[in-house]
Amino acid sequence: MTSVPAQPASGQSVDPRARSAARLGAVQALYQMDVAGTPLDDAVEEFTQHLLERPTEDEEIVEADTAHFDDIVRGVVREQRELDREVNGALAKGWALGRLDATLRAILRAGAYEIRRCKDIPVKVVINEYVDVAHAFFEGDEPGVVNAVLDRLGREIRGGTGADHDAAGQG
């Protein structure tokens, strides 16, 4: 079963900050499901009801794009086998997705899903967004790993030259 990712209604623009908040929430929900074994519907409900609307320190409240959040989380779960196969193939030789930190796995799965299914969002935007998410959790080499893996997947899945290839769109 495949579904079409949530798209804004015709003529409506999407606030990129709302999508950024959705991506961060999706990574957190996927992490929670992976580590704590939280069921899909429970994780989506918890994040949608409580966590996506929480302000961060010294920042204005940015309400997450809940449709995008829901699409990413449910899509990653639905397509996890294929996503894991693709991400494993894009990792450097000797690396395996299952041996990576759970947060890094969640970031790579979510980014791979968006590259596969959210064709209205340029690969370059997807890569930049998930590198930013990685910077929120890691201070080491992990953001570079995210950049390299998603760039490789962008080239493989959408063709062209990875981060520089795409139709115009907003993230």
Q: Domain residues of the chain, as ranges?
A: 16-164
Contact 76, 113 (CB under 8 A): yes
The residue with greater pLDDT, 15 or 166, is 15
Report how far residue 116's alpha carbon sits from residue 113's, in angstroms, rounded to the nearest whole number.
5
Q: Distance between CA atoms of 128 and 163, rounded to whole angstroms? A: 9
Cα–Cα distances in Å, from 15 out to 11, 18, 98, 138, 165? 13, 5, 34, 26, 22
Q: What are phi and psi of 169, to 5 degrees?
A: 180, 175
Question: For residue range 118-149, what is the model confidence (pLDDT) as tens digits?
Answer: 999 999 999 999 999 999 999 999 999 999 99
CATH T-level assignment (fold) for domain 16-164: N-utilizing Substance Protein B Homolog; Chain A (1.10.940)
Q: Considering only CA atoms, which of 151, 87, 144, 149 is closest in space to residue 122? A: 151
Mean of all residue pLDDT scores within the chain = 85
Q: 1 or 60: whose pLDDT is higher?
A: 60
Which pLDDT band, with edges at 50, 70 and 90, does 59 fall under?
Answer: low
The predicted pLDDT at position 47 comes to 86
- Whole-angstrom Cα distance, residue 41 to residue 70? 10
- Residue range 72-117, pLDDT digits in tens: 999 999 999 999 999 999 999 889 998 999 999 999 999 999 999 9
pLDDT in tens, 15-44: 899 999 999 999 999 999 999 999 999 999
* pLDDT grade for 56, boundaries at 50, 70 and 90: low
| pLDDT at residue 161 tops 90 | no
pLDDT band at 4 (very low <50, low <70, confident <90, very high): very low
Check residue 163 and give its pLDDT: 46
